[in-house]
Amino acid sequence: MCGIVGYVGPRNSINIIVSGLHRLEYRGYDSAGIALCLKNNEKLVLVKTPGKISDLETAISKALPVKDNRTFTLGIGHTRWATHGVPNQVNAHPHLSRSGEFAIVHNGIIENYADLKSRLIKQGYTFKSDTDSEVIAHLIEQCYEGNLKGAVAATMERLEGTYGIAVISSKHPDTIVAARKGSPIAVGICDGETIIASDISAIINYTKQVIFLNDGDIITATASNIDISSVKNIPVSREMTHIDWDIRDIEKGGYEHFMLKEIHEQPLTIANAIRGRLMEAEGTAKLSGMQMDPREMARIDRIAIAACGTSYHAGMVGKYYFEDIAGMSSEIQQAAEFRDRNPIIQRDTCLVAISQSGETADTLAAVREAHQKGATVLGICNVVGSTIAREAGCGVYLHAGPEIGVASTKAFTSQVSVLAMLAIAFARTRRLSVNAGREMIHQLSVMPKIAEQVIAQESIIIKIAEKYAGSRDFFYIGRGYMYPAALEGALKLKEISYIHAEGYHASELKHGPIALLEKNVPVVALVPNVPAKIKTMGNIQECKARNAPVIAIATEGDNDVRSLCDDVIFIPPCDEFLTPIPVTIAEQLLAYHIARIRGCPIDQPRNLAKSVTVE
């Protein structure tokens, strides 16, 4: 969940590393640091500080004033999301070895660090930080016998847990060594320079040619050469990937926050998700990444879905799709629970693993468990070359472009769009008629226009946000397809506004939560014009009887809802199975503007990071 950047080449590494860390700040922003090396075997220069990258820039300018015109052609940097030890200068990365000749940055968790630390202390090592990462620096120094890669490999064999690490040494002033086990490392291949990072966002300003390390890989990189091998020093070859993201995709483009930009991008990103995949004449969808023909799809009898967070809510919608559209037995599990419960997987089971980043640790573990049990595994990811995309075996990319805001928005609606196409494709190998399939495909094709119409309601949503921004608690309620939408709406609000919000199936309201309703507890009721609406209207009456204000999200022209509720956000009419898309966009805008009014750090909410690569 932290960010790593390393550089070796002819340019001043400070500028490239700091720029890269800014690109990765959405992955960790409680402290940051940089370690630099000259070519004259001086000790490494270390600068680190609590706070954001801007604080690091200030610290660098003080430690290395402009009059210091040395060119540091080798360096590593890190922006942290704290796990072990509070966010402060001492716990910030990079960490140095005892001699100061080795520096490391680390993403992940070393599970046996306490035992390793105890042994090192007995051998005379002292520790400055409370982190699990510092043991890596000391172990590398202890294992060093003139070969930096060999010292890293020997250290890797003693570590238990997950890591992406980058290492430099004053003894090797032209070399970075990096390794991975469970935490991503990407290598940007440039002309006469090499950039190593935990996320391609830090690389694409310099090159679109990237190599992704696999678990157990070690890379030794100079400005002009890279060498990849296993822990056992066996050479390995990794495929080069071309990244088609543009640098403008990771800039705000005039918006106040990345989250608002990404909400407004959804007409385009939904269009990208469905473009070239809708086969209206055949009443189906063609998803080439699935690598399954209709006969193979017909042999799948059961769908298991594993995901976390917002992707889990998309997966809940997907479960309904596979059951309602394709008539297939389907279940959704939180990804960690899928792995930890030792799930029953049969040969006719297909696991659908959903992850925006493609690096979510629990979802990746579910993929590996499903493979072990012989299931077909299909990944739904946004990031090209991500670990889940590579390990799933087959899958579908979202094509949503980079999502920088920590609270996921456009990825959710793209995931729902892809799941709808998957369900239709499976259904057409079963009992779904071509005419019914054509109608569903047509409904999907107009979703970008419907998304535009919801976003056009933003000025109305702002007024509602102003009215309720001072609230301390919110409820979200819905039935059927609106139940996962209620969960997602509540998650968005709590993530970025720090308001306590809970999502409930509307029928659960009277089984306990209704005790909390009063005039200062708004209820967001999801009541588009679908069959479950009439029952949810009854739940709205129960809320009103307890003096709770009700904000409804309803279909245009619904005067019954308008007359009953305090405030209404209207969405265009659409087929029931696609209502989660426009409803969720309205919820995103409501959450965003409440958070903005409250002055919250929307793109970087406290305690959260974009990609959860630790368990």
How many other C-beta atoms can be found within 10 angstroms of the C-beta atom of residue 348? 12
Q: Say whether 2 is catalytic.
A: yes
3-state secondary structure of 46: strand
How many other C-beta atoms can be found within 10 angstroms of the C-beta atom of residue 12? 16
Contact 107, 163 (CB under 8 A): yes
Segments in 429-515 forming alpha helices (H): 434-445, 447-455, 458-468, 482-497
Cα(412)–Cα(98) distance, rounded to whole angstroms? 46
- My answer on whether omega of the bond before 184 falls inside 30° of 0, hence cis, is no
Catalytic option among 2, 381, 543, 574 = 2
Q: Where are the beta strands (DSSP E) in 9-136?
A: 31-37, 45-50, 74-80, 95-96, 102-107
Catalytic option among 261, 494, 533, 610 = 610
What is the CB-side half-sphere exposure of residue 595 using CA atoms within 13 A? 29
How many other C-beta atoms can be found within 10 angstroms of the C-beta atom of residue 234? 8
Q: Rounded to whole angstroms, what are the CA distances from 143 to 147, 180, 357, 478? A: 9, 18, 34, 58
Question: Tokens 């320079």 correspond to what residue?
Answer: 193
DSSP code at position 7:
E
Sequential DSSP letters for 373-441: TT-EEEEEESSTT-HHHHHSSEEEE-------SSS--HHHHHHHHHHHHHHHHHHTTTT--HHHHHHHH
Q: Per the structure block, which two tokens stand in for 225?
A: 């050469």
Q: Say whether 143 is catalytic.
A: no
Give me the active site residues, please: 2, 610
